[in-house]
C-alpha cells in the first residue's frame, strides 16, 4: 500500500484536509534534463513535526527534489503531496503552507533587519500594520531585536541566516524546506542556525533539510534519507543507519614515527572486518564485535611490539562512514550540482530566490517594487 492510500481524502464541505501523519510524501518522482536523470523514482515520507535530513553527493538530486516539492519545478512523473496537497495540481495551496530558505540568503544588505522582514510580509499581502507586527514577532523569536535597526550588511553570517529563516516563516508555515542552510558559515553561526531549527520543530514545524554537513544531519534529523543517482537508497533514523555498519569501531592514533604496518597487523587480529588506514593522520580504524575486549587486546599487543599510540578509543560508526559505505563517495565530492540552475519549467524569477507563501491575488508571481511594497 502506498503512503497516499493510507491518507484521508479532501472534505468538500469544510474545504479542509483532515489530519495526516505525513507532512511530505513523494512516490516515484522522475525528472530528466536531457540524458541526465536528476530524479529516477524518488520516494520519501516525512512525518509531521520532525526533521528529515536529505543527504547525497553533488549531482544526487537533492536540490531538484526540493524544487519539485516546493512547486518551483514540475516533475516528469510520479506523485507528491506537501501538507496534504498535490504539488502539481494544487500548487497554490502548497505555497500557502510552506516556507523555503535556499542555499543563498535573500537578505537585502541595504535594508535593516526589520525592513527586510516588513518587505517580505508586504510581498505576502499583509497590510502595513500586520507586516510590522509580524516582523517584530520574528525578530524576537530569532534573537535579532537588538540588531533590528542595523543594516543587514553589518550582520554576521549566522545573523543573516537567522534573518533569512525568519523571512521564510512570515506566514507561519507548517512545513519548512532548508536547502543547505549553513553552507559557508563558521561553527558558531552554524550552531545558531541549528538552535533556531530546533525551536521551530519544538513548535510543531516539519523541516526537510538538505545538507552535506553530516554532523548537522546527525544533530538535527529524526530521519535521514540518503539520495544517490536520483533515488533514495537508505531511509531510517541516524542510529539505525549507523547500526547497519556492525556496531562499535576502534580507532588507534599512533605517535609520530611509530610503525604503522605493525600497528595495522595488531588491529587486523582484533577486528571483525577490513581496517581503514589514514597514513597522514597516523590513524587506523576497524570494526569490532566487543569494544572493551578489542581495546584491551590492542593495547597489550601494541606494548608487546613496542608501538607507541597517542590515542586508543572505541566509538560508534559515524554518518560519514555510513554515507561512504552507501554511496562509495565522500559527503562533499567534486562534481556538478544536480540539474541546471534555471530549469526551463521553473516559474520566472524563482530560481535564485525562492520563498514560500501565497501568490498574488491574481495568481501571478509577486515581486518587490522599488519602495519595498508589493507589485505583480
Helix, strand, coil percentages (3-state) for the chain, rounded to 5, are 30, 25, 45
pLDDT of 246 reads 67
- 130-138, long-range: CB < 8 A, 24+ apart: 134/170, 138/166, 138/167, 138/169, 138/170
pLDDT of 67 reads 94
* Residue ranges, the chain, pLDDT below 70: 1-20, 246, 329-376
Contact call for residues 164 and 105 (beta carbons, < 8 A): yes
Domain ranges of the chain: 4-241+331-375, 247-316
Whether 4-241+331-375 and 247-316 share one fold: the answer is no
- Write down the CATH number for the domain with range 4-241+331-375: 3.40.50.300
pTM check: above 0.75: no
pLDDT of 363 reads 36
pLDDT of 335 reads 41
pLDDT of 7 reads 39
3-state secondary structure string, 19-82? CCCEEEEEEEEEEEECCEEEEEEEEEEEECCCEEEEECCCCCCHHHHHHHHCCCCCCCEEEEEE
Burial 230-253 (b: 16+ CB within 10 A, else e): bbbebbeebeebbeebebbbbbbb
| CATH, domain 247-316, list 3.30.70.100, 3.40.50.1400, 3.40.50.300, 3.50.50.60 | 3.30.70.100
Cα–Cα distance between 63 and 75 in angstroms, integer?
13
Q: Which helix (H) or strand (E) covers residue 177, if one does?
A: strand 175-179
Each residue of 289-318: pLDDT tens digit?
888 899 999 999 999 999 999 999 988 878
Under 8 Å CB-to-CB from 74, ≥6 apart: which residues? 68, 88, 345
Under 8 Å CB-to-CB from 182, ≥6 apart: which residues? 161, 189, 190, 193, 194, 211, 213, 216
pLDDT of 193 reads 83
pLDDT of 354 reads 41
Each residue of 199-219: pLDDT tens digit?
889 989 999 999 878 889 999
Amino acid at each position: 500500500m502506498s503512503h497516499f492510500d493510507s491518507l484521508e481524502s479532501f472534505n468538500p464541505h469544510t474545504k479542509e484536509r483532515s489530519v495526516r501523519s505525513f507532512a511530505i510524501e513523494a512516490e516515484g518522482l522522475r525528472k530528466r534534463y536531457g540524458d541526465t536523470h536528476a530524479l529516477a523514482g524518488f520516494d520519501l515520507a516525512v512525518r509531521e513535526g520532525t526533521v528529515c535530513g536529505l543527504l547525497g553527493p553533488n549531482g544526487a538530486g537533492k536540490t531538484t527534489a526540493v524544487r519539485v516539492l516546493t512547486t518551483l519545478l514540475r516533475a516528469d512523473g510520479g506523485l507528491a503531496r506537501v501538507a496534504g496537497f498535490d504539488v502539481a495540481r494544487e500548487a497554490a495551496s502548497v505555497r500557502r503552507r510552506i516556507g523555503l530558505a535556499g542555499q543563498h540568503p535573500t537578505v537585502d544588505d541595504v535594508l535593516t533587519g526589520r525592513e527586510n522582514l516588513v518587505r517580505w510580509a508586504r510581498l505576502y499581502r499583509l497590510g502595513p500594520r500586520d507586516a510590522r507586527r509580524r516582523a517584530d514577532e520574528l525578530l524576537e523569536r530569532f534573537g535579532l531585536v537588538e540588531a533590528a535597526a542595523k543594516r543587514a550588511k553589518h550582520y554576521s553570517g549566522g545573523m543573516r541566516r537567522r534573518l533569512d529563516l525568519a523571512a521564510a516563516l512570515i506566514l507561519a508555515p507548517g512545513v519548512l524546506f532548508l536547502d543547505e542552510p549553513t553552507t559557508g558559515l563558521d561553527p558558531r553561526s552554524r550552531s545558531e542556525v541549528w538552535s533556531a531549527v530546533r525551536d521551530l520543530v519544538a513548535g510543531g514545524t516539519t523541516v526537510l533539510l538538505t545538507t552535506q554537513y553530516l554532523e548537522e544531519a546527525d544533530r538535527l534529523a529524526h530521519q535521514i534519507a540518503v539520495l544517490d543517482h536520483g533515488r533514495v537508497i537508505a531511509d531510517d533514523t541516524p542510529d539505525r543507519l549507523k547500526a547497519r555498519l556492525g556496531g562499535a569501531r576502534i580507532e588507534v592514533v599512533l605517535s609520530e614515527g611509530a610503525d604503522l604496518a605493525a600497528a595495522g597487523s595488531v588491529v587486523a587480529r582484533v577486528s571483525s572486518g577490513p581496517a581503514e588506514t589514514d597514513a597522514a593522520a597516523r590513524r587506523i580504524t576497524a570494526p569490532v564485535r566487543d569494544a572493551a575486549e578489542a581495546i584491551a587486546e590492542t593495547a597489550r599487543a601494541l606494548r608487546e611490539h613496542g608501538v607507541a599510540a597517542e590515542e586508543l578509543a572505541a566509538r560508534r560508526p559515524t554518518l560519514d562512514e555510513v554515507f561512504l559505505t552507501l554511496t562509495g563517495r565522500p559527503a562533499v565530492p567534486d562534481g556538478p550540482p544536480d540539474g541546471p540552475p534555471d530549469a526551463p519549467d521553473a516559474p520566472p524569477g524563482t530560481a535564485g530566490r525562492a520563498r514560500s507563501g501565497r501568490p498574488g491575488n491574481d495568481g501571478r508571481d509577486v515581486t518587490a517594487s522599488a519602495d519595498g511594497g508589493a507589485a505583480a
